[in-house]
Amino acid sequence: MIGLLGASQYEPIVENLDERTIVSTRFGDVSVLKGRISDNTVFFIRRFGWHDNKASDVVNHAAHTLAFRMLGVRRVITLNGFGGVNHDFNVGDLVVYHDYVKMLERGPTTIFFGEQRWPRANMTDPFCTEIRETLINSARYNSNRNLHTMAVNICVQGPHNETPAEFEAFRRLGADIVSTAIYPEVVYYRELEMCFAGLSWITDSGSDNDEKNWVRIGVDELSSIVREAIKNIPDVSNCRCQSTWIGNESDHYNDTTSLPSWYLDIR
């Protein structure tokens, strides 16, 4: 099973979509669509709300992540347009980012927030190396666009766009792209022992970031990339994403006995 996050315009990537169902999580209800890509069952969540009307700073990322996990999904791909910061990243380029810098405060800071104890997730590989590889290989084969296979995504609060001074500051910090998405959900995916990676494209660059001028990629072009990537994800994962809390029993913070009972019940 695969989870796909994106605006509603990208739903046609998934075939044979059913009517939406509601998944009730401890963080709230989530509308989920179920369909197929080749032999895989795919669940699609409209990441900006059912009506595409919620900016990232008010999206219920915790509910989205937990809904996928409760459905049995262990691998999730997100589709996003981001701003280019690195001068070598041009509008229309594809990006499979590998790391991020958090430049915002948005909660809950952990999917286990509110528990008496919560473990500390290892974020050495924040994005799944295996899914990134399949996305990169598929993008190379199915698109003529310039592709960046490594990129640091600086995550900002939004929803407004960035100033010219902020763009320059982010560039000097080592960022390649900027977005209002990805954090804190990336942490929840690691905490819930799930694979998470994204395919993005550069919508705008530098200080010329008025949304009415953003460049978007059509669903047909993305479909071929995403469908082949999902088809090629190995049946058994060879990454570290799905074993966050395994083998760390010597550290009491990472002891699985410190995981909340509600998570142990669905784990």
Chain residues that interact with Zn ion, rule: CB under 5 A: 128, 130, 195, 239, 241
Shortest distance (Å) from residue 53 CB to Zn ion: 31
- Residue whose CB is less far from Zn ion, 138 or 180: 138
Three-state secondary-structure class, residue 229: helix
Nearer to Zn ion, 30 or 128 (CB): 128
Nearer to Zn ion, 128 or 217 (CB): 128
Backbone phi, then psi, for 9, in 5-degree steps? -65, -20
Measured CA to CA, the distance from residue 135 to residue 104 in angstroms comes to 27
CB of 95 to Zn ion, least distance (A): 19
Q: Is the dihedral of CA 60, 61, 66, 72 positive or negative?
A: positive
Taking the complex as a whole, the smallest distance from the CB of residue 237 to Zn ion amounts, in Å, to 5
Specify which residues 178 forms β-bridges with.
Answer: 83, 154
Identify which of residues 85 and 111 has a Cβ nearer to Zn ion in the complex: 111
What is the distance between the alpha carbons of residues 135 and 98, in angstroms, rounded to a whole number? 12
Nearer to Zn ion, 81 or 126 (CB): 126
Distance of alpha carbon 150 from its chain centroid, rounded?
A: 15
Least distance in angstroms from the C-beta of 189 to Zn ion: 9
Residue 127 CB, shortest distance to Zn ion, in Å, is: 8
In this structure, are strands 152-156 and 99-103 parallel, antiparallel, or unpaired? parallel
3-state secondary structure of 15: strand
